[in-house]
Amino acid sequence: MPARRTSALTAIVVPILLLAGCSTATSTAPAEAAGEPRSGGTLTWAIETEPITLNPHQYAQAKARLLVWNSFESLLTYDEQGRLVPWLATGWQAGADGLAYTVTLRDGVRFTDGTPLDADAVKANFDKLREEGYAPGVAAVQLRNLKAVEVVDPRTVRLVLTAPDVLILDFLASPQGALISPRSLREATNLKAGGLDVVGTGPFILDRYLPGQELHYKRNPDYDWAPPTASHTGPAHLDGITYRFLKESAVRVGALTSGQVQLVEGVPATDVPLIDGHPQLRLIRELNSGSAFSYYFNVSRAPFDDLRVRQAFREAVDVPTLLTAVYQDTATRAWSVISPASPFYDKRLEGSYGGDAAKANNLLDAAGWTQRDADGYRTKDGKRLTVRLIQAAPFVRDRRDVLAQAVQAAVKQSAGIDLKVSLVDQGTAVKAFDTNEYEVFENSRADTDAGAALNLLLHSAGGINRTRVHDARVDELLEQGQATADPAARADIYAQLQQVVVAEQALVLPLYAPADQIAASNTVGGVRFEPTAGVPASAYDLWIGQ
Amino acid sequence: MGRVQLRAVLRRVAAGVVVLWVAATAAYLAVLAAPGDTVDTLIGDGADTPQIRAAIIAEWGLDRPALLQYLDYLWRLAHGDLGRSYLLQRPVAEVIGEQLAPTLILSLAAATLGVLLALIIAAVTAGDRRPWLRRLSSGTELLLVSTPPFLIGLVLLSVLSFRLGLFPVAGDAGPRALVLPAVTLALPIAGLLAQVLRDGVDRALDEPFVLTARARGLREGVVLARHALRHALLPAVTLAGWLFGTLLGGAVIIEQVFGRPGLGQVTLTAVTGKDMPVVLAVVTLSAAVYVVVNTAADLVSLLVDPRLRRS
């Protein structure tokens, strides 16, 4: 029961630390340290999650993303506006029928083992990704429409598709699409686990890994191919950086306030005043892209097979009140299944539903849940209006367990709905989902292209379609969104989809937009988030001021 | 005489092997009986398609009958092959090899410190020489035994590391980083052992042989150390198994709080991830250490208690 322990621990420790800080100032510190970027020095950054693998092809943890880009890079990346821009590529061209993409490569790029980056190296990566048993998730989802990779000339590769698929470009900008040296692909002792002998082209070189403790990167002195989104060019400012794994947020914050580390990520809401009130520290925060943190209603069983009950559940929850209670004023309310940070977010949904207890009760009366039992819960035909929310402990973060309790109390009080919350291990959760023994599923995904998240969550053949919705219109919109190249047209398609899913069918209760926080010492400059993804960026732009 | 001893040793070894087998089997059954299956946990919250499932099943041979997989595990275990971790994609021996030393160092430091503290406390507070100190001490012991180790760790961290900066918060960089985790783990041990020891000393002090010793003109300190404490050690030594369990269980939490590498972290991840090869390896290893510790405890009892030698 590690998760339970952790939450109990946070509850106990936070007051201790707040006492230690004892400040009520709420002024926001400057976003940047004073002075000009300078070269040299090393930093220690306390991070929450130790990566399961250091091989970017096997990447599966959003919390590990900031590590990937230190030593690995992709062909494309996203800018602040959510547009794709070249990185290790110089450009790309879609075929007229959308069935091929020609990518030209930047000249003079070398992997840190000396191997040049050329078309053969790109092809070697794609071939490896499609090799049986190497990266089944990538092969089955991101690359499912990829037919072949052709080497046109040393600086040009062509990706041939079986069906039009704009998400292949998102893949080229993703950690799984990062390029590994062909020599590492051939010779690494533990390719799938990654390690010191699995190298990329990045601004840093991994030179120490102590499992359970820390990772250390040193500067790549030959680096000269920064993406256009970076704030400088040439080698990184820092000589090196250490990432220390500190799972407990209280310990991370304590290490920062006592000067033992200069940066931390993952700052709980309760510690925000402590950072804000500290003269030598500052806190920056950014919304993640992808899908918002939402409750998904299982429409394949009663009671959520009834639209009115789904709507009633949403009306029964006053989201802003709950967010304030659980996260103080640090959470951003979500209105759609898509994060407000995504270019596809449909603003029209804002204010269109929710928080109307009278409406919730009318809807439930109309749906036949008219009786009340001794405990005050609604019943119909002698059966209580009970819905089960399954939380898998390994994925519970951001105090989602506490938020669930708040929702539980709210729906009981305002509409007589019995929300049963189970915090269970991963195996039990998966079993409940597989056997359809749940009514509510909670999830957020940090995909850079929200379309990728929606494909998994809402398509009738999606890998995590836990609403169990099978709707031809939803499927069609998702498929159109994946096949349409023009961003404005895509945004239009996804707007229609959001109207169907959120407004018309009430399949989800969007709660908040996931965000990442970095707390940093004021001596550290260049602290930034990765554009569009909204997660902490790599160490490339970091520097130490006077 | 030699033959009798050899037979006793052989019997011990055979019993040890049986214990190991039972432990490995129990662990296997427990993981098997836990809800969900390995494929599910390997997929995590990612995409779940028949194609991905098939690839994972093929990779680890999970389509074989459970009994066959179990026999395969045992066969390889008997040959010293711990297999590969599903989650980490690396040989289990390598994973455990690099995490064993930090846990051993932490456990040994904590055990030594805990036992030393307990001996000192028992020696100082036993009898009715300083009733106020005795009351204070037993109250503190009770507090330490009943406080969860993570809380002790966080209080120590907040004061000694975050406020006073005396010790680093994390890592196993040098002996200074070992101090707080070892103290955290040692305090509950010291609390319980001190109570058991003091109880034993109290009882021994009422025995006629203590009166004899005093009558011979021995100083009270010598009476305590050479006669009473030695008597009190026996029940304490039998607690060695308990001590070992406390150390392993505590290490899981302490390693998490202090960001230390170690077996605790590995075990936690493996159990929640149904990473069978790692779970089996850790359980078998723990059982092996347990057998060794208990055998050692028996031997120490023989040394301490002449009555056992005669029988």
**Residues A418, A339 share a domain:** yes
Contact A390, A441 (CB under 8 A): yes
Q: Which pLDDT band, with edges at 50, 70 and 90, does B70 fall under?
A: confident
Of B45, B52, B172, the CB nearest to A213: B172
Task: Specify the pairing of strand A386-392 against strand A418-424.
Answer: parallel
Instruction: Give me the residues of chain A with pLDDT under 50, please.
Output: 1-31
Q: In which residue are the tokens 């951001």 written?
A: A398
CB contact under 8 A, A425 and B89: no
Interface test with B, best of A248, A274, A435 (most B CBs within 10 A): A248
**Residues A181, A209 share a domain:** no
CA-CA-CA-CA torsion for B63, B64, B69, B72, nearest 10 degrees? -120
Q: What is the CATH number of the domain that holds A84?
A: 3.90.76.10
**Residues A522, A500 share a domain:** no
pLDDT at B129 over 60: yes
Contact A149, A122 (CB under 8 A): yes
For B215-228, how does the pLDDT look when each residue is reduced to its tens digit (9 = 90+)?
888 887 788 877 88
For B244-261, how does the pLDDT look when each residue is reduced to its tens digit (9 = 90+)?
777 877 887 888 888 888
Of B43, B162, B168, the CB nearest to A20: B162
CB contact under 8 A, A394 and B272: yes
Domain annotation covers residue A323 = yes
CB contact under 8 A, B37 and A443: no
Domain annotation covers residue A348 = yes
| CA-CA-CA-CA torsion sign (A301, A302, A306, A311) | negative
Q: Is the pTM of this model over 0.80?
A: yes
**Residues A425, A371 share a domain:** yes
Interface test with A, best of B95, B158, B265 (most A CBs within 10 A): B158
**Residues A369, A411 share a domain:** yes
Amino acid at A485: A
3-class DSSP state for residue A239? coil
Q: In which residue are the tokens 């256009």 written?
A: A228
Neighbouring CB atoms inside 10 A of A377's CB total 18
DSSP code at position A536: B
What does the pLDDT read at residue A345?
94
What are the C-alpha distances in Å from A332 to residues A268, A329, B107? 14, 8, 45
Q: Burial code of A255-282, b = ≥16 C-beta within 10 A, e = fewer?
A: bbbbebbbbbbbbbbbbbbbbbbbeebb
Q: Tell me whether A428 touches chain B (CB under 8 Å).
A: yes
Closest by CA position to A174, among listed A515, A453, A457: A453
What does the pLDDT read at residue A28?
36
| Residues of chain B found within 8 Å of residue A250, distances taken between Cβ atoms | 154
- Counted across chains A and B, CB pairs separated by less than 8 A come out at 169
CA distance B122 to B201: 8
Q: Which pLDDT band, with edges at 50, 70 and 90, does B48 fall under?
A: low
CA atoms within 13 A on the CB side of A508: 30
What does the pLDDT read at residue A20?
37
Task: Specify the pairing of strand A42-47 against strand A263-265.
Answer: parallel
What does the pLDDT read at residue B310?
62
| Residues of chain A found within 8 Å of residue B44, distances taken between Cβ atoms | 60, 394, 426
**Residues A446, A385 share a domain:** yes
Domain annotation covers residue A124 = yes
Show which of residues 466-505 on chain A sit within 8 Å of chain B, judged by CB atoms: none
Neighbouring CB atoms inside 10 A of A172's CB total 26
> Domain boundary residue among A189, A223, A238?
A189
What does the pLDDT read at residue A14?
38
CA distance A102 to chain B (A): 28
For A206-261, how does the pLDDT look when each residue is reduced to its tens digit (9 = 90+)?
999 988 889 999 999 999 999 999 999 999 999 999 999 998 888 899 999 999 99
Domain annotation covers residue A500 = yes
Q: What domains can be seen in chain B, in order of their start residue?
A: 2-78 (no CATH), 92-308 (1.10.3720.10)
Q: Tell me whether B147 touches chain A (CB under 8 Å).
A: no
**Residues A344, A376 share a domain:** yes
CA distance A540 to B5: 67
What does the pLDDT read at residue A393?
79
**Residues A210, A84 share a domain:** no
**Residues A217, A320 share a domain:** no
**Residues A458, A347 share a domain:** yes
**Residues A450, A316 share a domain:** yes
**Residues A528, A503 share a domain:** no
Examine the predicted complex and report whether its ipTM is higher than 0.90.
no
Q: Tell me whether B261 touches chain A (CB under 8 Å).
A: yes
pLDDT at B238 over 70: yes
Domain annotation covers residue A413 = yes
Contact A145, A161 (CB under 8 A): yes
What are the C-alpha distances in Å from A119 to residues A42, A112, A155, A455? 35, 17, 6, 30
Q: Burial code of B90-99, b = ≥16 C-beta within 10 A, e = fewer?
A: bbbebbbebb
For B139-188, how does the pLDDT look when each residue is reduced to its tens digit (9 = 90+)?
888 888 888 888 888 898 888 888 888 888 776 567 888 889 999 999 98
Average model confidence (pLDDT) for chain B? 81
CB contact under 8 A, A427 and B274: yes
Interface test with A, best of B32, B42, B49, B265 (most A CBs within 10 A): B49
Interface test with B, best of A253, A425, A435, A447 (most B CBs within 10 A): A425
Question: For residue A125, what are the domain limits?
Answer: 72-189
Question: Looking at per-residue confidence, does B302 or B207 come out higher?
Answer: B207
For the residues B117-124, what does the mean pLDDT come to?
88
What does the pLDDT read at residue A17?
37
Amino acid at A27: S
For A160-185, how does the pLDDT look when each residue is reduced to its tens digit (9 = 90+)?
999 999 999 999 999 999 999 999 99
CA distance B57 to A526: 45
Q: What is the CATH number of the domain that holds A296?
A: 3.10.105.10
What does the pLDDT read at residue B47?
62
Domain annotation covers residue A140 = yes
CB contact under 8 A, B150 and A244: no
Neighbouring CB atoms inside 10 A of B258's CB total 30
Report how many domains make up chain A: 3
Q: Tell me whether A397 touches chain B (CB under 8 Å).
A: no
> Domain boundary residue among A148, A168, A189?
A189
pLDDT at B98 over 60: yes
Q: Tell me whether B168 touches chain A (CB under 8 Å).
A: yes
| Residues of chain A found within 8 Å of residue B34, distances taken between Cβ atoms | 425, 427
Percent of chain B with pLDDT over 90: 4
A89-94 β-sheet, strand order: A89-94, A100-105, A156-161, A146-153
Domain annotation covers residue A326 = yes
What does the pLDDT read at residue B219?
82
Q: Burial code of B58-80, b = ≥16 C-beta within 10 A, e = fewer?
A: ebbebeeeeeebbeebeeebeee
> Domain boundary residue among A189, A219, A240?
A189
Domain annotation covers residue A23 = no
What does the pLDDT read at residue A362?
96
What does the pLDDT read at residue B44?
62
Q: What is the CATH number of the domain that holds A257?
A: 3.40.190.10
